[in-house]
Amino acid sequence: MLFNSIQFAIFLPIVFLLYWFVFDSFIKKSKNQLRLQNAFVVMASYVFYGWWDWRFLLLIAFTSFCSWGSGLLIAKAETRKKAKTWMWLNIVLNLGILALFKYYDFFASEFAELFNVSTVGLLLKVILPVGISFYTFQALSYSIDIYRGKIEPTKDIVAFFAFISFFPQLVAGPIERATNLLPQFLKKREFDYDNAIDGMRQILWGLFKKIVVADNCAVFVDHVFSNYTNETGSTLLLAAIFFTFQIYGDFSGYSDIAIGTAKLFGIKLMRNFNVPYFSRDIAEFWRRWHISLTTWFRDYVYIPLGGSRVSKAKVVRNTFIIFLVSGFWHGANWTFIAWGAYHAFLFLPLILTGKNRKYTNQVAEGRRLPTLKETGQMLLTFFLAVMGWIIFRAESIGQAWEYVRGMLQFGTLRACYRFFTLPEIRLTSLFVVIMLVIEWLQRDKQHGFEGIEKLYLLHNKYLRPILYALLLLLMMVFGGKHASFIYFQF
Amino acid sequence: MKRFLWAIVIGGIAFFVLCGAVEFYQSRVDNNYSYKYWYMENHRHEVVTLLLGDSYIENAINPGLMGKGTFNLARSSRWIYYDDKLLEKYIADMPNLKQVILGMGYKPPYFKSYHYPESESNEPEMNEHEKYMYEKFMHIRYDDNSNHWLGLYRGYIDPGTLIGNNLLCDSLGYERVDGQSVNWRLEHNVDSNVFHQKYAKEQVAEYTGYLKDMARLCHLHKVRFIVITPPCHDSYIVNVRQEGLDIIHGIIENVRSEYPIEYIDYLQDEEYRADSIYRNCSHLNSIGADIFALRVKKDFGL
């Protein structure tokens, strides 16, 4: 079930009303009230997830059960060594499932090609379960955190299943930590008006980024990337820039809808994006892009390897490991590994010179506009990100290389012609600019529509819902046609 | 909670009121579809020559030069389904109708959906914009499940049709396009993979079925059925393949085996080699539309 589908528009209000009116108010006096409400969350989440393919439910239930059981076994273990064994068993099991579904065919076909053997009977050709990379990492964090003594294991299997399967963030994150999300399922949630209204606004903002920005960019991007050999350099550059906004609008839009939806249920999810295209260097970009994944790798891979407090050779090794693994997490293709390696090369000079944490504050803090230097830094970082996205978007490394080569051949100004003659591109560019302006003005806020009730026209509490409705209508009318979310495939 | 639900209810009501306002506004704004519908409802009895097809006809034949009683009912990007349904709807009540002229371009038989990437990967679906416009303004539904509201609110409708006055055709249904597009040689390239699309065969078969039905209707009502393939510029023709030509000519022969059909292929005609008559490499501009209208008139003795 997609967030931007009619089904979800029906599903969400039903679940919301049942959650608060039946499983909260109506059965308030029951001692099992919390448990029943959590069971309802699990049920609703399984309906949401099973909408794609009910067979996926068996897998997520199995992963949840094993991780829950491993947590109890880790805590019960008499020695540290035994606890470690249980933790590793859970890691191997979860990563094994992930590898089987996501990476086996890739390695098998690479093996077949390397040794020139037939792939007949070698490939599994299984469907990749939606969001498997997201919930697997969430499940892993639980057992690792118990082993590290950061959290206590829960005996409440229903709460744990709700933690793994909570539908707003199940298929594309944010990848929640057990330390943040699980305790919220272990205590009673209270409905908070301001929080719910803020959640609705965040959903609206996420829909704008997804439906209006990303989906409109997708039309042009898909066309150019599938005909890149026939396109001129300036068209290819324009399409690469559009893809940069497409992937941001798509993924951060999804995150905003997820976080906003969770707020309606009294659940607070972690922030996943923090205006990454206003970063002044690549290190800052990575602190602001897909935060839940980058911090996951930082906490569970990078720091255990020694992080940056080791010899320079090991820092280089650790940096490459984290970026390559992060790239590979996105999918079984050399392009993702190359994308990771590309960012590792950009990141290395910063970490080796100790400048990787130079920009930890918000750009132009306390000012309306950035300085010339900051603007230059942001543009350079943006350009580096664009180059990376070409590798990410390409079908193969060869295609990425051809694309970049084509981009450097500025034979004609066809992109400019397109820009000025095609109304779709003009309109899409306008939407991108609107997104950037709002994000810039709201860069110290959690999302683009946070606190907008303080703006002039939105003071009036009766006018506000009407303006939101108007915005929703305009979004639907001006929305693009690309329905699915890019990150679902990961 | 009560306060929150009230806010949602007010927002919901506002949303539906706005949707109603859009519907109302749209019904008051003219466009080519609504005009052509109005014309056929009120003046069909006067029509002697009816032009059908897509942009290759709507922009490429000036009916004013083809003799009294010619009306251009063609519509840009439409699928032949709509031509068939329009003919079926009106032909019995068109006493003066002598001939129906249908445009069959080099590519259209393969593209039920005009979204190329979708056509290549998924089973082609009818263009939602067309569905919406034909359903709302010409009262022809594509299928029982189609709903123009879904098309509108899933972003399938060109926003331009919702906002402004889109009546671009003249009183005879001709949409005049002057000059040339900036990148006129480059746009609308022939996709060489067109014959190898996953659903190319199915689309050609579907196209042939509708064409045959139109031929049947014309035969039944003793009306000449004329099919033409409009001319294209050299920069387009260079990519045209014999394989493709054989397919479109095969479609005609298939229909001809059952019903009378007159056909002329102007695609590579020597008269249409000048740059100045093209809007882009596959569409004539207003100069070309005048020349082409007179040529068709002469060739078919209208």
Mean pLDDT across A6-19:
90
pLDDT, position B198? 67
CATH code where residue B261 lies: 3.40.50.1110
Q: Is B21 on the interface with A (CB under 8 A)?
A: no
Q: Mean pLDDT throughout A378-388?
A: 95
Domain count, chain B: 1
- Partner A contacted by B220 (CB < 8 A): no
Q: Which residue of chain B comes nearest to A4, CA vs CA?
A: B154
Contact list in A for residue B182 (CB cut-off 8 A) is 417, 420-421
Q: Does the residue B159 lie in any domain? A: no
pLDDT of residue B282: 85
**pLDDT for A106:** 82
Most B CBs within 10 Å, among A472, A482, A484, to test the B interface:
A472
Q: Residue A132 above 60 pLDDT?
A: yes
Q: Is the pLDDT of residue B207 over 80?
A: yes
Report yes or no: B24 at the A interface, CB cutoff 8 Å: no
The question of whether A482 is a catalytic residue gets the answer no
- Give the mean pLDDT of A236-252: 92
Report the residue of chain B nearest A477, measured CA to CA.
Answer: B155
Q: Is B130 domain-assigned?
A: no
Question: Minimal Cα distance from B189: which residue of A?
Answer: A230
Q: Name the residue of chain A whose CA is nearest to B121's CA.
A: A226
- Say yes or no to pLDDT of B148 above 80: no
Q: Does A230 touch chain B (CB under 8 A)?
A: yes
The mean-pLDDT minimum among A162-166, A432-436, B34-38, B153-157 falls in B153-157
Range of the domain at B177: 32-125+169-299
Whether chain A has a CB inside 8 Å of the CB on B257: the answer is no
Question: Can you tell me the distance from the alpha carbon of B115 to that of B131, in angstroms, rounded to the nearest whole number?
Answer: 14
- Whether B285 shows a pLDDT value over 70: the answer reads yes
Nearest residue to A302 (alpha-carbon basis) of A279, A329, A278, A321: A321
Residue of B nearest to A20 (CA): B1
* The dihedral sign for the CA sequence A170, A173, A177, A179: negative
Q: Reading across the β-sheet that carries B99-103, which strands appear in turn? A: B70-72, B49-52, B99-103, B224-229, B262-265
Q: Does residue B55 fall inside a structural domain?
A: yes
Tell me the two tokens of residue A1: 């079930």
% chain A with pLDDT above 70 = 93
Is some CB atom of chain B closer than 8 A to the CB atom of A481? yes
Q: Can you give the pLDDT at residue B150? A: 60
Contact state of A476 with B155 under an 8 Å Cβ cutoff: yes
Integer angstrom CA distances of residue A423 from A216, A420, B93, B99: 12, 7, 40, 37
pLDDT at A22: 80
When CB atoms are compared, the residue of A196, A461, A478 closest to B4 is A196
Kindly state whether residue B37 falls inside one of the protein's structural domains. Answer: yes
Tell me if B210 sits within 8 A of B80, measured CB to CB: yes
Q: Is pLDDT larger for residue B187 or for residue B71?
A: B71
pLDDT of the residue at B116? 45
C-alpha to C-alpha distances, A227 to A413, A420, B5, B193, nearest whole angstrom: 17, 21, 49, 12
Distance CA A218, CA A254 (A): 15
Cα B47 from Cα A83, distance rounded (Å): 88
> Using the 8-state DSSP alphabet, how is residue B27 labeled?
H
Under an 8 A CB cutoff, do B14 and A470 touch? Answer: yes
Asked if the structure places residue B22 within a domain, the reply is: no
Q: A290, A330, A343, A447: which is the annotated catalytic residue?
A: A330
Q: How far is B162 from chain A (nearest CA, A)?
A: 9
Contact state of B12 with A462 under an 8 Å Cβ cutoff: no
Split at pLDDT 50, 70, 90, the class of B200 is: confident
Interstrand relation of B278-280 and B283-284 (parallel, antiparallel or unpaired): antiparallel
Instruction: Tell me how close the Cα of B159 comes to any Cα of chain A, in angstroms.
Output: 6
DSSP 8-state secondary structure symbol assigned to residue B274: -
Measure A423 CA to nearest chain B CA, in Å.
10
A281 touches chain B (CB under 8 A): no
Q: State the complex-level ipTM.
A: 0.76
Residues in chain A: 490
Higher-pLDDT residue of A250, A1: A250
Contact A64, A156 (CB under 8 A): no
- Is B19 within 8 Å of chain A by CB? yes
- Report chain B residues whose CB lies below 8 A from the CB of A418: 183
Q: Is the pLDDT of residue A183 over 90?
A: yes
Q: Looking at CA atoms only, how far is residue A476 from chain B in angstroms?
A: 5
pLDDT at B184: 59
**Cα torsion at A365, A369, A372, A375 (round to 10°)?**
80
B 134-173 near A (Cβ less than 8 A)? 150, 152-157, 159-160, 162
Q: Would you say A239 and A220 are in contact if contact means Cβ atoms under 8 Å apart?
A: yes
Task: Kindly state the percentage of chain A with pLDDT values over 90.
Answer: 53
User: If DSSP states are collapsed to H, E and C, what string results for chain A?
Assistant: CCCCCHHHHHHHHHHHHHHHHHHHHHCCCCCCHHHHHHHHHHHHHHHHHHCCCCHHHHHHHHHHHHHHHHHHHHHHCCCHHHHHHHHHHHHHHHHHHHHHHHHHHHHHHHHHHHCCCCCCCCCCCCCCCCCHHHHHHHHHHHHHHHHCCCCCCCCCHHHHHHHHHCHHHHCCCCCCCHHHHHHHHCCCCCCCHHHHHHHHHHHHHHHHHHHHHHHHHHHHHHHHHHCHHHCCHHHHHHHHHHHHHHHHHHHHHHHHHHHHHHHHCCCCCCCCCCCHHHCCCHHHHHHHCCHHHHHHHHHHHHCCCCCCCCCHHHHHHHHHHHHHHHHHHCCCCHHHHHHHHHHHHHHHHHHHCCCCCCCCCCCCCCCCCCCHHHHHHHHHHHHHHHHHHHHHHCCCHHHHHHHHHHHCCCCCCHHHHHHHHCHHHHHHHHHHHHHHHHHHHCCCCCCCCCCHHHCCHHHCCCHHHHHHHHHHHHHHHHCCCCCCCHHHHC
pLDDT single digits (tens) B234-274: 888 887 888 888 888 999 999 999 999 999 999 999 999 99
User: Best residue in B2, B3, B4, B235 to probe A by mutation, most A CBs within 10 Å?
Assistant: B4
User: What does the mean pLDDT of chain A come to?
Assistant: 87
Chain-chain contact of B182 with A427 (C-beta, under 8 angstroms)? no
| CA–CA gap between residue B63 and residue B169 (Å, rounded) | 11
CB-based contact, A469 to chain B, within 8 Å: yes
**pLDDT at A173 exceeding the cut of 80:** no
Nearest 5°: the CA angle A63, A68, A72 is 145
Contact B152 A197 (CB under 8 A): no
A461, A481, A484, best to mutate vs chain B, most B CBs in 10 Å: A481
Q: How far apart are CA A293 and CA A315, in angstroms?
A: 20
Distance from CA of A138 to the nearest CA of B (A): 31
The pLDDT of A325-340, averaged and rounded, is 89
Kindly state the average pLDDT of the residues A164-192. Answer: 90
- pLDDT number for residue B70: 96
Chain A's closest residue to B3, CA to CA, is A193
Average pLDDT over residues B199-228: 92
pLDDT at A417: 63
Q: What angle do CA A19, A23, A26 make, to 5 degrees?
A: 120
Q: Is the pLDDT of residue A415 over 50?
A: yes
Any chain B CB within 8 A of the CB of A226?
yes
Is residue B213 in some structural domain? yes
Give the model's pLDDT for residue A30.
65
Specify burial of residue A419 (Cβ count, 10 A radius: 0-12, 13-18, 19+): middle
Residues in B touching A20 (Cβ below 8 Å): 1
Contact list in A for residue B156 (CB cut-off 8 A) is 481
Contacts of B155 in chain A (CB under 8 A): 211, 215, 476-481
| Cα–Cα distance, B259 to A133 (Å, whole number) | 60
The predicted-structure confidence for A90-120, as pLDDT tens digits, reads as follows: 999 999 999 898 888 888 888 888 888 887 7
Residue B65 included in any domain: yes
Q: CA-to-CA distance for A124 and A237, rounded, in angstroms?
A: 38
Chain A residues in contact with B185 by the CB 8 A cut-off are none
Distance of alpha carbon A362 from alpha carbon A279, whole angstroms:
9
Residue B162 has what pLDDT?
59
Nearest to B117 among A223, A421, A480 (CB): A223
Residue B64 has pLDDT above 50, yes or no: yes
pLDDT digits (tens, 9 = 90+) for B89-146: 999 999 999 999 999 988 777 666 554 444 444 556 677 777 878 888 888 888 766 6
Top-confidence residue, B34 or B25:
B34
Domain-wise residue ranges, chain A: 6-188, 194-280+359-489
Kindly indicate the confidence band of residue A129, based on its pLDDT and cuts at 50, 70 and 90: confident
Asked if A463 reaches chain B (Cβ–Cβ under 8 Å), the answer is no
**CB pairs < 8 Å spanning A and B:** 75
Before B230, cis peptide (omega within 30)? Answer: no
pLDDT, tens digit, 9 for 90 and up, residues A424-478: 778 888 899 999 999 999 999 999 988 888 877 778 877 888 888 888 888 877 7
What confidence score (pLDDT) does residue A383 get? 94
Sign of the alpha-carbon dihedral angle for B208, B213, B219, B223: negative
**CA torsion, points B30, B33, B34, B35, in degrees to nearest 10?**
80
